[in-house]
Structures are given as C-alpha cells and as structure tokens.
Amino acid sequence: MSQRPRDTPPLDAQSVPAVTRDQMREVDRLMIEEYGISLPQMMENAGRNLAELAGRMLGGLSGRRICFVAGSGDNGGGALAAARHASNRGATVDLVLSDEPPRLGAMPARQLASLKAMGILPRAAGSGLPEADLYIDGIVGYSLHGALRGRVHDLAVALNAGSGPVLSLDVPTGLEVDTGVAAEGAVRASATMSQVLPKPGLIAPAARPFVGELYLADISVPPALNARLGLAVPALFSPDTLLRLQLR
C-alpha cells in the first residue's frame, strides 16, 4: 500500500523506547517551558512530516485529492498544518472539521486562518466525506479517554467507510495510546505517523488492525530532553525525518 520512506530500512519497534501519555505530556511541557521550542514549531514539524508521508504513500502530491479530517484540539492543528503543506505541493485539499470553527482550540484556529487566507475553506458542518485518494485522520490524539461520541464517532466511522486509505496523525482516533484498546468505531488506519517515539498502545498486537504501518516523525525533540526522562534514544532521525517501524 504505502511506500517506505526512501531506502531507509525499517527499525525494529522493540529497539526504541515507547512513551506513555503522561510522558508525552511531559515532553510537550519541557519542549515549551525549558527548551523554548513552541507548540506552533512542533505543529509545523508534524504537519510537514505528515504531508511528506502522504506524498510517499501516494507517489507524489501533485494532482492528488486529500481529505483532512481535523478535530478541535492540537491533533487537528497538526492535520491542518499538513493540509497547508500538501496544498503548497500541488494537492487538492478538502477540509472536514469535527466542530464548528468558533469552537476550535487556539492552535487549530490559527492553522485554519492560514488555510482560509489561501482560499481553502472547510466543508459545511454535517456534510459527509468526499471521495479522496487519501484521508488524513487528525480528529483526536493521545489525550483520548473512553468512548467516541457524537460527530467524532460519526467521522471515525465515515473514515473507515471511505473510498481511500487512511493516514492517522499520532494515533488512530479511538485507540487508547497506553493500552491499545480500541473504542467502538475506532479508525482502522492504513498507516499511522507517531510523533517523537511510539506509544505502548501502538505496538500492542491487538492494535495492529487499527495502526497499519507505523512511522515515527521527527519534531525536533532534543536528545538531552529524552535523557532527562530516562529514555535511551539513539540518533533515530540521522538518515531521515520519517522512519518506519517493523512491528512483530
């Protein structure tokens, strides 16, 4: 289905540490408060890598139609940043939001404003998903707890019934990142791009039908930060900013 990033061989998922939800929150906090790497910077890195992976999956972005399904939180902001990069590289972009624009968080609202300035507007509220060569799942990230409800549930179900493959940002919507337990209607992705490091739930055997191929993306976390959290992380991204993990 998807192309491997360049000629970089996949890494054994067991050869790199996994980070829990609480550890990821600490990574985010330290990045912002102590290393001066802002959330918009991290989001930009994530969005650029997500657009790059989409292009590798499709054999290029020019002339391709990609539907970005974005939630109201930071995961949605990353997907919207990717939509901008994909459009800049020649893709036709459709936007579907889980909430009305006034209810978006600060980061996705900022990303949406940039897209609107480019003439890219979200589809009308309540509309279904258009046909696309690829769907981007940026509805809910690692903060998910419990069941999927309302429009979030409906969009996850629609992604599973879509006409093209699904690429999830950080975690398929509906999959619990620490355990790998999937909520009813959870997205069954063709590929998942995890930021920084894999999460325990992504490499759990039961999660395989939901995760698909698993990739890691560099969002510029300093090695000293990983060491501070007791994580022995090699220079993973020296060959590429996107790496595929081999799941056992």
Domains plus CATH for the chain? Answer: 42-219 (3.40.50.10260)
**Is residue 214 within 8 Å of residue 181, measured between CB atoms?**
no
Rounded (10°) CA dihedral 165, 169, 175, 179: 130
Return the percentage of the chain with pLDDT > 90, whole number: 79
Q: What number of other Cβ atoms are within 10 A of residue 223's Cβ?
A: 12
d(C-alpha 149, C-alpha 231), whole Å? 35
Highest mean pLDDT among 20-24, 90-94, 139-143, 216-220: 90-94
Q: Give the mean pLDDT of 175-187.
A: 95
Kindly report the average pLDDT of the chain as a whole number.
92
d(C-alpha 163, C-alpha 218), whole Å? 29
Q: Give the mean pLDDT of 126-137.
A: 92
Radius of gyration of the chain (CA): 17
d(C-alpha 213, C-alpha 145), whole Å? 23
Tokens (6 digits) for 140: 């809910």
Q: Give the mean pLDDT of 191-209.
A: 94
Structure pTM? 0.94
Residue 128 has pLDDT above 90, yes or no: no
**Is residue 118 within 8 Å of residue 146, measured between CB atoms?**
no
Read off the pLDDT of residues 3-44 as tens digits, 9 standing for 90 and up: 444 557 788 888 889 999 999 999 999 999 999 999 999 999
Pick from 90, 67, 202, 206: nearest CA to 137:
67
Return the percentage of the chain with pLDDT > 70, whole number: 97
